[in-house]
Amino acid sequence: MQTLQKATGMSTYDFAKKHLFQPLNIEDSYWYSDGQGIHNGGDGLRLTSRDIAKLGLLYLQGGQWQEKQIVSAAWVQESIHPKFRT
């Protein structure tokens, strides 16, 4: 079981749909899962070009969407910085 699922009782995909996709009005998504039903955070998410642009705007606006904070500005900043030296 994944850490997010242990903490929330929701799959990664269900968590994303509730806390990210619904607030952004992303309705047409699909996230491939492995044989155990685990959604890999690194790949397999399918979105329309318009919905990918919504995620880009969310980042450009510091995690805000239509005057609502969806993710923290600190999380946005942390997520765009490399974690490993290459």
Top pLDDT among 40 and 56 is at 56
pLDDT (mean) for 65-82: 94
Among candidates 82, 76, 75, which has minimal Cα distance to 59?
A: 76
Q: How far apart are CA 40 and CA 32, in angstroms?
A: 8
pLDDT of residue 59: 97
What pTM was computed for the model? 0.82
pLDDT (mean) for 33-58: 89
pLDDT of residue 55: 96
* Domain ranges across the chain: 3-79
Among candidates 37, 55, 79, which has minimal Cα distance to 13?
A: 37
Top pLDDT among 57 and 41 is at 57
